[in-house]
A and B are shown apart, each in its own frame.
Chain A
Amino acid sequence: MDMTVNTQPASSPERAKEEARKIIAIEDLSLVFETNDGPVNALSHIDLDIHAGDFVSFIGPSGCGKTTLLRVIADLERQTEGSIQVDGTSPEDARLNRLYGYVFQAPGLFPWRTIAGNCKVPLEIFGMSKEQQQRHVDKYLELVGLGDFHKKFPWQLSGGMQQRASIARALSFEPELLLMDEPFGALDEITRDHLNLELLKIWRETRKTVVFVTHSIPEAVLLSTHIVVMSPRPGRIAKIIKSPLPRERTLEDRESPEFIALAQEVREALANDHRIN
């Protein structure tokens, strides 16, 4: 297998500059869905900055607009008010520039394509050469631990493996930003823990910016550099918590006092908000 793809680990001074760069800037953003039962305030006056290299989790009860916010970043929904800039441009231009890879809650693999074939879908659309496609697919399937499953069809894989394949697909065209909508929500806890660690590893190795939607407090605390606590009706940001934990984390860190304190802070932010409602 050819593993000579350049990963371009940025040198450290550049890295510092990178980290200061705002990759997502959201200002006073609101989104109202017009439904048959009248307007629904899905998002209300959101202000949020995400910097390159961050791992940001949106957490909150269902209906708090966390997925909607992610979809606005991905240009799958449009805000009705306010502004959003993704990498200095509109979400639409960011999408056209292939800035982000999106991982859905379900793997969403095409059943008629092999795992490798699924990872090639975006690469084909982006007009990559066949050899380059193969190199990228080899590299990223290896990275998510599916190196031996190129020729398998999705139904031959477990749910966790399918979701890994969908992460490889999102990484395959090397986007700077990874948008993940409860990617592990449908998996059992053991698989979930495992994939969380792998995601952390991938995040550290590839230096991506990750925006991650979840409703699991331990998952948010384990993964994130910033936790955005959201609350429903109307969907808004209740609190943004910066994690004091180091970037290198293990499952055992969940027993550490810092981790427990952070989880407690998230829990309180969620609970406080519920009391207001």
Chain B
Amino acid sequence: MFKSLHKSQAAALTLMVLALLVLWYLGALWLNSDLLINGYERRNIDWSFSQLLADAYSMKRPLLPTPDQIAAELYKSIFDTKISSKRSLVYHTGITLSSTLLGFLMGAVLGIVLAIGIVHNRTLERSLMPWVITSQTIPILAIAPMIIVVLGALNFTGLVPKAIISMYLSFFPVTIGMVKGLRAPDKLHMELLATYSAKPGEFFWKLRWPTALPYLFASLKIAIAASLVGAIVAELPTGAQGGLGARLLSGSYYGQTVQIWAALVVAAVLGAVLVALVGMMERKINRRMGIAA
């Protein structure tokens, strides 16, 4: 029965993908045809629908590139280009990935430290929490160039400023999740440790931390996706030389829509892979903690 369920799920998925592809090709035709028809009329060319169809799917700078164009661009810039080349998407992905991961690590550590402070100290909660929330109401696009410029003046360039913007976005879900998680222990468990005269450190490591772990992983999944967004955003306004953000930016400068879409696809896949990696870590730890998967 499960097998057939599996089969029907796979069938539904395939159907979805097919429907999306059909819509995409229709959309590409619709969006690109205006540009083409204008061109035909300007040059007084008699055009037929079949010609329009062929042209709409093979433009150099289409308004909306087709999936096969994006796939070809991906293949070219991933497999047909040396990794060290600035045209290699692997090269740019590596740059974005490194600041994503560094920012994610810093954000996770900062988020956990803030949460520990907030949970253990009422004054810290009152004084920190409003700032933590305010920090997220500021549009990151507005603040990113300033952070980069200020840090540049302090001789921080390259990876670190971008990682800091990733951190800025990723610490927040970790703090919120961990505050809740560290406060999640049962009263009974707290009293049990009290009967052993446990010290605050023992309360933390034996009870609060393990209780908070499921909350931590839920937060980390959001945080790592936010980190990737932060890294890409950090590359946008600063004229960065490398990274997926730089790739998006140069693509839009030169109207290279296929390049933009290829970078977008890589960013999306990268995000999915990163979240899946965190999920794998979570399952591994769950198994060790005896939680049935």
Contact = CB atoms under 8 A, between A and B. Distances in A.
Interface in A87-118: 95-96, 98, 100-102, 104, 106, 108, 110-114
A125 B188 contact: no
B202 A153 contact: no
A96 B196 CA distance: 8
A56 interface: no
A33 interface: no
A160 interface: no
Contact of A76 (B186, B189, B194, B207): B194
Contacts of A124: 206
A110 to B, nearest CB: 7
Nearest to B205: A124
Interface string B184-206: 00101101111111100010001
B190 to A, nearest CB: 10
B130 interface: no
A74 B195 contact: yes
Interface of A is mostly: loop
B289 interface: yes
A166 to B, nearest CB: 9
B195 A108 contact: no
A113 B290 contact: yes
Interface string B203-243: 00011001001000000000000000000000000000000
B215 to A, nearest CB: 13
Interface in A120-157: 121-122, 124-126, 153-155
Contact of B192 (A96, A98, A108): A108
Interface string B14-41: 0000000000000000000000000000
B291 interface: yes
Given A96-B197, A125-B196, A108 B206 contact: no
Nearest to A122: B196
A122 B189 CA distance: 12
A10 B192 CA distance: 29
B188 A108 contact: yes
A96 B197 CA distance: 6
Q: How large is the interface on B (under 10, 10 to 19, 20 to 34, 35 or more residues)?
A: 20 to 34
Contact of A111 (B197, B202, B290): B290
Contacts of A121: 192-193, 196, 206
Interface string B114-139: 00000000000000000000000000
B194 to A, nearest CB: 7
B292 interface: yes
B192 A114 contact: no
A163 to B, nearest CB: 13
Nearest to A179: B195
A241 to B, nearest CB: 28
Interface string B157-195: 000000000000000000000000000001011011111
Nearest to A118: B192
Given A104-B188, A110-B189, A125 B290 contact: no
B290 A100 contact: no
B195 A112 contact: no
Nearest to A126: B196
17 contacts: A74-B195, A76-B191, A76-B194, A95-B197, A96-B197, A98-B197, A101-B195, A106-B188, A111-B289, A112-B290, A113-B290, A121-B193, A121-B196, A121-B206, A124-B206, A125-B197, A125-B206
Given A110-B206, A112-B290, 16 more contacts: A76-B194, A98-B197, A100-B195, A101-B195, A102-B192, A110-B207, A111-B290, A112-B210, A112-B213, A112-B289, A112-B291, A124-B206, A125-B196, A125-B197, A125-B202, A155-B290
